């Protein structure tokens, strides 16, 4: 049981579940209730693929990031020795491989898209994480993609709804802001490891201001969706909580760009993004 908990911690399974929900939401926004009757098996395969790819990518993140984690996150399973490096490698490879392979059963386009995204994730883990801003952009891309991917399971690229594209943009800006905030949290370990985060390049205050601007862009875009979703009042009843969390976070991080506050904001904005996904889904009920 302890080993299972260690693997769940290593793989950040909760993020994988969020990815699966985002994929389902993107599909539901594209097809509505018909999603339960049209290619539903493909949607289930896509959601499972999303979980597996996320699990594999996070596992390799810890595998290649172990030295930084000794400073920034000494509680991680690979640092504490709960899971060996060899076991983590095999676990990451298996989940990533299966996650990509499942897409062959869906269609060629999503197979190519997920294979490319998995490659981007591995390149981030091995090379681009230390590049700072480029790495942040890649993480934001990976966060925004599941909504588009959910739609692409059921539709051709030219028929992905504007609402899905717009919500993906919201997820991109919110995630990019969160990654910059993470750079504030990890500043000491990143400094020693040579990671060129925005916090180290331009300083804590300017990095915090940049993150707050990205949060504000996400909030503004979320307001535009009110005019596009099928059920705008149900949408706004959920999204208002998300927007308040991000508005507070934008204010708080500029007022106090400390490591402790940044860590708190990372947790709050993750909750905000989860509520945002629920709100987007509710907008199409």
Residues in the chain: 285
- Asked if 83 and 223 sit in the same domain, the reply is no
Q: How far apart are CA 197 and CA 154, in angstroms?
A: 38
In CATH, what number is assigned to the domain containing residue 278?
1.20.120
Q: Print the domain residue range for 141.
A: 1-157
- Asked if 88 and 102 sit in the same domain, the reply is yes
pLDDT class of 9 with cuts at 50, 70, 90: confident
- Asked if 4 and 142 sit in the same domain, the reply is yes
Each residue's pLDDT tens digit, 37-49 = 778 899 999 999 9
Q: What is the mean pLDDT of residues 216-224?
A: 96
- Asked if 127 and 257 sit in the same domain, the reply is no
Each residue's pLDDT tens digit, 174-184 = 999 999 999 88
Q: Which of 157, 189, 215 is the last residue of a domain?
A: 157
Each residue's pLDDT tens digit, 251-261 = 999 999 888 99
- Asked if 148 and 202 sit in the same domain, the reply is no
Domain count within the chain: 2
Look up the pTM and report it.
Answer: 0.89
Both structure tokens of 243: 């927007």
Supply the pLDDT for residue 193.
72
- Asked if 165 and 215 sit in the same domain, the reply is yes
Name the average pLDDT for the chain: 89
- Asked if 117 and 36 sit in the same domain, the reply is yes
* Residue 12, Ramachandran bin (φ over 0: left; ψ between -120 and 50: alpha; else beta): left
Q: How far apart are CA 178 and CA 200, in angstroms?
A: 16
Q: What is the mean pLDDT of residues 204-216?
A: 95
Supply the pLDDT for residue 280.
92
Q: Which has more pLDDT, 6 or 234?
A: 234
Q: What is the mean pLDDT of residues 5-28?
A: 88
* Residue 81, Ramachandran bin (φ over 0: left; ψ between -120 and 50: alpha; else beta): left
- Asked if 6 and 141 sit in the same domain, the reply is yes
Q: How far apart are CA 180 and CA 133, in angstroms?
A: 8
Supply the pLDDT for residue 150.
94
CA dihedral over 137, 24, 48, 107, signed as positive or negative: negative
Average the pLDDT over each of 50-59, 190-199, 229-238 and give the range with the smallest value. 190-199
End-to-end CA distance of the chain: 39
Supply the pLDDT for residue 269.
94
In the block, residue with structure tokens 């260690």: 6
Supply the pLDDT for residue 2.
53
3-state secondary structure 98-144: HHHHHHHHCCHHHHHHHHHHHHHHHHHHHCHHHHCHHHHHHHHHHHH
- Asked if 49 and 117 sit in the same domain, the reply is yes
Q: Which of 135, 157, 179 is the last residue of a domain?
A: 157
Both structure tokens of 101: 């392979």
- Asked if 171 and 229 sit in the same domain, the reply is yes
Whether 105 has a pLDDT exceeding 70, the answer reads yes
Estimate the share of the chain in helix, then strand, then coil, as percent rounded to the nearest 5. 85, 0, 15
Supply the pLDDT for residue 44.
94
In CATH, what number is assigned to the domain containing residue 71?
1.10.357.140
Q: What is the mean pLDDT of residues 91-97?
A: 93
- Asked if 112 and 76 sit in the same domain, the reply is yes
Q: How far apart are CA 55 and CA 216, in angstroms?
A: 30
Each residue's pLDDT tens digit, 115-124 = 999 998 888 8
Q: Which of 123, 157, 191 is the last residue of a domain?
A: 157
Q: How far apart are CA 245 and CA 94, in angstroms?
A: 37
Q: Which of 147, 114, 160, 143 is nearest to 23 (CA)?
A: 147
- Asked if 274 and 195 sit in the same domain, the reply is yes
Each residue's pLDDT tens digit, 59-89 = 888 888 877 777 777 788 888 888 888 898 9
Q: What is the mean pLDDT of residues 91-113?
A: 94
Q: What is the mean pLDDT of residues 22-51?
A: 90
């Amino acid at each position: 049981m302890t080993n299972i908990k260690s693997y769940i911690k290593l793989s950040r399974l909760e993020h994988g579940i969020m990815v699966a929900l985002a994929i389902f939401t993107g599909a539901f926004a594209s097809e509505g209730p018909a999603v339960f009757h049209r290619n539903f098996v493909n949607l289930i395969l896509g959601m499972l693929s999303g979980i597996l790819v996320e699990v594999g990518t996070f596992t390799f993140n810890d595998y290649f990031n172990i030295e930084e984690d000794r400073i920034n996150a000494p509680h991680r399973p690979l640092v504490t020795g709960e899971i060996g490096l060899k076991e983590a490698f095999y676990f990451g490879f298996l989940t990533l491989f299966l996650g990509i392979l499942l897409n062959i059963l869906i269609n060629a386009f999503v197979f190519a898209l997920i294979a490319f995204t998995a490659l981007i994730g591995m390149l981030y883990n091995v090379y681009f994480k230390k590049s700072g801003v480029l790495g942040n952009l890649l993480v934001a891309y990976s966060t925004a993609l599941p909504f588009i991917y959910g739609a692409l399971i059921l539709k051709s690229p030219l028929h992905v709804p504007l609402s899905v594209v717009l919500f993906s943009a919201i997820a991109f800006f919110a995630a990019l802001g969160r990654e910059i905030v993470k750079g504030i949290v990890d500043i000491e370990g990143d400094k020693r490891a040579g990671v060129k985060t925005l916090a180290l390049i331009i300083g804590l205050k300017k990095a915090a201001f940049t993150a707050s601007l990205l949060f504000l862009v996400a909030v503004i875009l979320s307001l535009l969706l009110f005019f596009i979703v099928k059920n705008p009042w149900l949408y706004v009843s959920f999204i208002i909580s998300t927007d308040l969390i991000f508005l507070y976070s934008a204010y708080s991080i500029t007022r106090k760009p400390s490591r402790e506050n940044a860590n708190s904001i990372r947790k709050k904005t993750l909750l905000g993004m989860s509520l945002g996904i629920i709100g987007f889904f509710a907008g199409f009920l």
